[in-house]
A and B are shown apart, each in its own frame.
Chain A
Amino acid sequence: MAQTPKIAVAMTVNGQDVSARLEARTLLVQYLREGLRLTGTHVGCDTSQCGACVVHVDGKAVKSCTILASQCEGAQVMTIEGLAHGDKLHPMQEAFREHHGLQCGFCTPGMIMTAVDIAQRLGTPDEHTIREELEGNICRCTGYHNIVKAIDAGCQEMAKGQHRQAAE
């Protein structure tokens, strides 16, 4: 069998410049998990429904199982591991802990990355909107009740943070 062709890929992941020669078919999630050992991004399905693999690419939520690593050439990628500032958790991470928005933790990284994206796009949406925005993220443990509460609280906190920044 012919050797699968490899291509050079370079991007920024959680603020670090990284580059590699990868098989062209390598998905972003494979590169993150296996190449960079950033195993916080999870794979829960084969069909882009579950959202456990959501990361940010150039500031937008993207399912990393549905994009090739090579499509992220030159991109700014942020994973769950890059969300906190050192020991200081991101307000959305805090909100998930505060409101018991996770149980087994498997869907959580994707949920949090999606939630941050929701806050960035919509500010402080109502419960109905949050539920509709979660269409692409499946959780089997929580019944979403506390995830919705956590996202609501996290959105409020992020909005306050922006007000503070604006005031300063």
Chain B
Amino acid sequence: MTKTGIGASVKRKEDQRFITGNGQYTDDVSRPGHVHAYFLRSPHAHAVIRRLDIAAAKGAPGVLGVFTGDDLAADKIGGLICGWMIHSKDGSAMKAGAHPALAQGKVRYVGDHVAVVIAETLAEARDGAEKIIVDYEVLPAVIDTAGAQAAKTQLHDVAPRNTVFEWAIGDKAATEAAFGAAHHVTKIDLVNNRLVPNAMEPRAAIGEYDPGQGAYTLWTTSQNPHVARLVLSAFIGIAPENKLRVIAPDVGGGFGSKIFIYAEETVAVWASKKVGRPVKWVSDRTEAFLSDAHGRDHVTHAELAMDAKGKILGLRVKTIANLGAYLSTFSSSVPTYLYATLLSGQYDIPAIYAEVDAVYTNTAPVDAYRGAGRPEATFVVERIIETAARQMGLDPADLRKRNFVRKFPHQTPVIMMYDAGDYRASLDKAMEIADVKGFGKRKREAARRGRLRGLGYSTYIEACGIAPSQAVGSLGAGVGLWESAEVRVNPTGSVEVLTGSHAHGQGHETTFAQLVSERLGVPMESINIVHGDTDKVQFGMGTYGSRSGAVGMSAIVKALDKVEAKAKKVAAHLLEASEADIDFKDGKFTVKGTDKSVAFADVALNAYVAHKFPTSEIEPGLKEGAFYDPTNFTFPAGCHICEVEIDPETGVTEIANYTAVDDFGVLINPMIVEGQVHGGIAQGIGQALTEGAVYDASGQLLTASYMDYCMPRADNLPSFKLGFTETRCPSNPLGIKGCGEAGAIAAPAAVMNAMTDALGTEAVTMPATPQAVWKVAQSQQKLAAAE
């Protein structure tokens, strides 16, 4: 390992600009003469718009334009799309209700977009919006996930019983047979609480139209600017792709919420031509709560069939997934192929059958949020196995060990082919770091202080490196999920790498450069990673699903292979040797068995000068591109152990210890990987203990600010204990599995298994706030007193 190569904890290149205040986020971009957009949003969860009068607003001071759904329709601007087709059990296509960027006759959630006002200043746009008269006929709202299908009110004409699809996976008959043969059946009912992703940078967009070129530019807070351009061009119809440039500059966190193509950027870029000025929109935090795609929101009943020795025979699951008022960009894939395909967990389960009904409700659209489906699957599997162990009087770690998959590759009953792993190794290591042996003593000591101490495991698995294009195509994806890279070596030997991945906190400018530095022997400071601009990078699929290492870097490897091959040809001429005799190592081309060598930078210069080789055989220049399509998902897995201590008098929970041992395959930069794990765990603990989006029965979002939605603060969390095990991923050249989501996937189950252990009942739901915990603790104490 070199000092900056693969495996080195290199300090991040991008930090200099962020710690000095020189980052360039979308709201920091200022265009000459830009004006401001303000969206008038529905105050009702469900209503018909009887009258929409914008005349007074149009005449308000500073207002340049007021637009409604009619204006978009007149310009043939299409609605927002969902790019993943799901078919129901009966073979019918999912029921996608129309999703106009600005309402057409009806609003379906609080925060739905009614009209946009564009004015010289934001204050004038807001003042103008107050002059819009809307006559709403308020309809009953459908809010409850489990009750949506039985509701009398229907959101979309195309979707009877508010049902998007009724989907199933697995072998129903085999699973019924497994339950028929079971010695013990564990049943569990779970709610996976609705979350709001809450990247600290709110969404923002600036649209600009250049009449000379007849072309638009959109700066936007996107995790995948090329996909945004494709959708805005091919489906929404803003402009052809060659007349639309999308730039995602520094982006302040995404966690999934910035994958999607939303109404606001669509309208901002379209309106820039209408008003003849660049149009800027920046979400405030309450708008973000109302209109960013939310995450999770499942109601699940699950049953686990066991034989007498604790071997799992089968699993059956019924989930109702709330997708909100409209189908967001990838929403349909989350509770299906990103969820139920992981229900086998780390276990050898012979038969699995899962049904998922997706429903519409009068709430914000729900889509991928950090982990996307996999946290929900892990929560089901890890909660039910822990419960089964308790019911059968078995040690939860032992029960897991008895059922771990040990031979690879392993075909699960739910599509996935696990390629490599050692689940026992990560469990053992986590138990050692967490000092599970000493837990009994700590529990007794806590009891003497009147505290309830509990310990919970989560041996999770996830599917990352999304995804083999043909495979996802056969499952309904509207796009391929490869990645692209281009390596441009400059004549002086410095290197630019153009990637279709996008960094919004992950540190790609450092990790990607580490790979290039190691391969080409070029110093870190001579390598620039370029991303986030459709005029620079030709195409790319962006960053989500922990794919940028496994897929994005693999594309760079392919391009580097081509650069090396070409450079060898040039070097052979410079060294007057046969190409087959050239070795490349540590930035030097050497003739085998001699001391004749030439440095990489000299080869680069000669490639451009082109004096010393026949250009009829070798083209001048040194620039290569590649597209990499993965051959399988990757399967990061590991074991998280949480230890909590509860004060039954106040309901306050302290995370006393949190241990994570993860197998991410090869680590490029352990410092950055650890940071990803920390952040994921914090979001998972947030889901378990503090966070929950709450709508009241009329559809008002009660948790629409940081006063009401409890983001984890520093004093809610401990320092984490981390460890790693490594089994190389066999399906990509670097052996990487991906690390971005593991913490958020593993943590909720680990925390809730610890909570239920401490409280002595399974009846604890997320978020386990002090009030909720206090109630459970009190009723447990009453029960104990009665016995």
Which A positions have Cβ atoms within 8 angstroms of B? 1, 4, 23, 25, 33, 37-47, 49-50, 52, 79-81, 83-84, 89, 93, 96-98, 100, 102-109, 112, 127-128, 130-132, 134-135, 137-149
Contacts and interface: CB of A to CB of B under 8 A. Distances in A.
A25 B24 CA distance: 26
30 contacts: A37-B30, A39-B24, A40-B20, A42-B27, A43-B202, A46-B286, A47-B285, A50-B706, A81-B22, A93-B19, A97-B16, A100-B672, A100-B674, A100-B675, A102-B15, A103-B675, A103-B679, A108-B18, A130-B714, A135-B713, A137-B714, A138-B713, A141-B253, A142-B678, A143-B678, A143-B680, A143-B717, A144-B682, A144-B717, A147-B714
Residue from A41, A84, A108 with most neighbouring chain B CB atoms (10 Å): A108
A86 to B, nearest CB: 11
A8 to B, nearest CB: 20
A127 B674 CA distance: 19
A106 B25 contact: yes
B61 interface: yes
A145 B719 CA distance: 5
A1 B127 contact: yes
Contacts of B680: 143
Interface stretch (B209-217, B300-308, B504-512): B504-512
B714 A131 contact: yes
B464 interface: no
A146 B678 contact: yes
A84 B23 CA distance: 15
B705 A140 contact: no
A140 B198 contact: yes
Contact of A46 (B285, B671, B720): B285
Given A39-B21, A104-B253, A143-B717, 9 more contacts: A39-B25, A44-B285, A49-B707, A103-B253, A106-B253, A131-B713, A132-B715, A140-B679, A145-B720
B444 interface: no
Interface of B: 11-12, 14-25, 27-28, 30, 60-61, 123, 127, 198-202, 250-253, 255, 284-286, 504-507, 671-672, 674-675, 678-683, 705-707, 711-715, 717, 719-720, 743
The B interface, classified by DSSP as helix, strand, loop or mixed, is loop
Contact of B22 (A40, A43, A146): A40
Contact of A140 (B60, B199, B507): B199
Residue from A23, A38, A137, A139 with most neighbouring chain B CB atoms (10 Å): A139
Given A37-B30, A42-B25, A135-B713, A47 B705 contact: yes
A45 B705 contact: yes
A149 B507 CA distance: 19
Given A108-B18, A141-B505, A146 B250 contact: no
Given A45-B285, A103-B253, A134-B713, A146 B675 contact: yes
B707 A93 contact: no
Contacts of B507: 103
Given A41-B21, A106-B200, A146-B678, A138 B706 contact: yes
Contact of A89 (B20, B127, B707): B20
Given A89-B19, A130-B714, A47 B707 contact: yes
4 shortest interchain CB distances as A-B pairs: A40-B21, A106-B252, A105-B18, A143-B682
A144 B681 CA distance: 11
Residue from A81, A84, A146 with most neighbouring chain B CB atoms (10 Å): A146
Contacts of A100: 11-12, 671-672, 674-675
A38 B23 CA distance: 11
B41 to A, nearest CB: 14
Given A1-B60, A1-B61, A80 B11 contact: no
B28 A39 contact: yes
Contacts of B505: 103-105, 141
A83 B681 CA distance: 32
Residue from A43, A130, A143, A146 with most neighbouring chain B CB atoms (10 Å): A143
